[in-house]
């Protein structure tokens, strides 16, 4: 660990926490890796679209993928099954989190793509192509009337989708952020 790097980190610590904390010195055994060699693991998609891959999908394409890979748990056209409903016009009437739906709660459309790509289908995570993940995202947004019935989703269009509940949140501990 160089003295310069220590000094920089101490400064970062000071800015971040308001205190100068001591950092233990390690043996520096991390191996350098390039961004391209991290790419297969870098699943993070930000609300501004950072991290979205190339590829594209339409609601029509998504309907076919959904019927094949998702409907067994989430029901025909996402109306719900052994897993939660993904298409719903239900309003929230209480504090029960079970009433949360994509249109009445999810603040960002990018989260749909991020979650589908990293975790779905439950039994075969990471088995979807990026085109399929875009198509499923488009299908669910269209079924919930959040985009037009034929609107394609890709790295450009998805971050532009505005979700109705984007402003419905209060950061509980802003002083810790």
Which of 108, 132, 134, 152 touches other proteins (CB under 8 A)? 108
Least CB distance to other proteins at residue 130 (A): 15
- The 8 Å CB, 24+ separation contacts for 43-49 are 43/114, 43/117, 43/118, 44/114, 45/110, 45/111, 45/113, 45/114, 45/117, 46/110, 47/107, 47/108, 47/110, 47/111, 47/159, 48/110, 48/159, 49/110, 49/155, 49/156, 49/158, 49/159
The pair phi, psi for residue 162, each rounded to 5°, is: -95, 130
Q: Does 41 contact other proteins by CB under 8 A?
A: yes
3-state secondary structure of 153: strand
Which of 53, 55, 56, 73 touches other proteins (CB under 8 A)? 73
For residue 121, the minimal CB distance to other proteins (Å) is 9
Site for other proteins contains 89 (CB under 8 A):
no
Asked if 114 interacts with other proteins (CB under 8 A), we say: yes
- The binding track of 118-137 with respect to other proteins, each residue x by CB under 8 A or -, is xx--xx-xx-----------
- Largest pairwise CA distance in the chain: 61
Should residue 106 be labelled a site residue for other proteins when binding is judged by CB under 8 A? yes
Our CA dihedral for 61, 142, 130, 111, rounded to 10 degrees, sits at -160
Token readout for 106 is: 């999810």
For residue 67, state whether it binds other proteins (rule: CB under 8 A).
no
In the complex, minimum distance from the CB of residue 150 to other proteins, in angstroms, rounded to a whole number: 26
Give yes or no for residue 16 binding other proteins (CB under 8 A).
Answer: yes
- Closest CB to other proteins among 90 and 148? 90
Task: List residues binding other proteins (CB under 8 A).
Answer: 1, 5-6, 8-9, 11-13, 15-17, 21, 23-35, 38, 41-48, 73, 82-83, 92-100, 105-108, 110-111, 114-115, 118-119, 122-123, 125-126, 168-173, 176-177
């Amino acid at each position: 660990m160089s003295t310069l790097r220590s000094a920089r980190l101490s400064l970062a610590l000071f800015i971040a926490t308001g205190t100068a904390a001591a950092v233990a010195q390690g043996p520096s055994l991390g191996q350098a890796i390039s961004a391209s060699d991290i790419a297969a693991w870098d699943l993070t998609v930000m609300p501004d679209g950072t991290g979205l891959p190339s590829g594209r999908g339409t609601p029509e394409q998504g309907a076919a993928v959904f019927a094949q890979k998702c409907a067994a748990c989430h029901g025909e056209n996402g109306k719900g099954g052994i897993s939660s409903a993904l298409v719903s016009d239900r309003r929230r009437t209480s504090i029960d989190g079970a009433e949360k739906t994509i249109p009445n709660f999810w603040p960002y459309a990018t989260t749909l793509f991020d979650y589908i790509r990293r975790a779905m289908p439950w039994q075969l995570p990471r088995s979807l192509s990026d085109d399929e993940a875009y198509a499923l995202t488009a299908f669910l947004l269209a079924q919930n009337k959040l985009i037009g019935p034929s609107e394609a989703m890709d790295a450009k269009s998805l971050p532009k989708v505005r979700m109705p509940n984007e402003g419905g949140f209060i950061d509980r501990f802003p002083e810790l952020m």
